[in-house]
């Protein structure tokens, strides 16, 4: 069945730094608006509002080393995971509501559910 996907945005994973503190730096650096940090199922996030093209940019407090990871959003995350596997990626695991993947280039990224009613770039259609 056909499905759609596109770049959702990127997450700035910050090793052992409170999300509010990380958001203070990155919002000022990028000229975005730091939103209040929130916790969900043991993780701590803060959105950075104002990125172009509806991109979702956020900071996350993590236990692993600091890095930036990309999110791809899709209206069928299982089909998208299969499509990306066929391109050489592998599934690391299903976490909460998303697939954690590893690209053949070694980068971890996530496949998340496509947000409804968001502006942004036109999604890619895959048959």
Q: Candidates 20, 45, 75, 124: give the one binding its own copies (CB under 8 A).
A: 124
53 binds its own copies (CB under 8 A): yes
- Evaluated on CA atoms 19, 22, 24, 28, the torsion sign reads negative
Instruction: Scan for tokens 């391109």, then name that residue.
Output: 87
**Encoded tokens for 12:** 């700035």
Beta strands 56-62 and 43-49 are antiparallel
CA dihedral 116, 36, 49, 39 (to 10 degrees): -50
46 binds its own copies (CB under 8 A): no
Q: How far is CA 55 from its chain centroid?
A: 10
- Of 43, 71, 68, 74, nearest to 55 by C-alpha is 71
Is the Cβ of residue 39 or residue 118 nearer to its own copies in the bound state? Answer: 118
Between residue 64 and residue 93, which ones bind its own copies under the rule CB under 8 A? 65-70, 72, 84, 87-89
Q: Candidates 36, 93, 106, 117: give the one binding its own copies (CB under 8 A).
A: 106
Residue 53 CB, shortest distance to its own copies, in Å, is 3
Q: Please give the residue ranges that form the binding site for its own copies (CB under 8 A).
A: 5-7, 10, 12, 14-15, 17, 22, 25-26, 28-31, 51-55, 59, 65-70, 72, 84, 87-89, 103-107, 120-121, 124
């Amino acid at each position: 069945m056909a499905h759609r996907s596109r770049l959702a945005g990127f997450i700035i994973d910050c090793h052992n730094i409170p999300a509010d503190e990380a958001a203070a730096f990155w919002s000022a650096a990028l000229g975005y608006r730091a939103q209040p940090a929130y916790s969900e199922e043991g993780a701590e996030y803060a959105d950075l509002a104002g990125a172009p093209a509806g991109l979702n940019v956020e900071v996350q407090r993590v236990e692993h080393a600091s890095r930036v990871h990309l999110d791809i959003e899709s209206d069928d995350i299982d089909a998208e995971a299969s499509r990306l596997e066929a391109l050489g990626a592998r599934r690391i695991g299903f976490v909460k509501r998303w697939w954690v993947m590893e690209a053949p280039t070694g980068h971890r990224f996530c496949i998340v559910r496509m947000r409804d009613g968001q502006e942004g770039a036109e999604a890619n259609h895959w048959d």
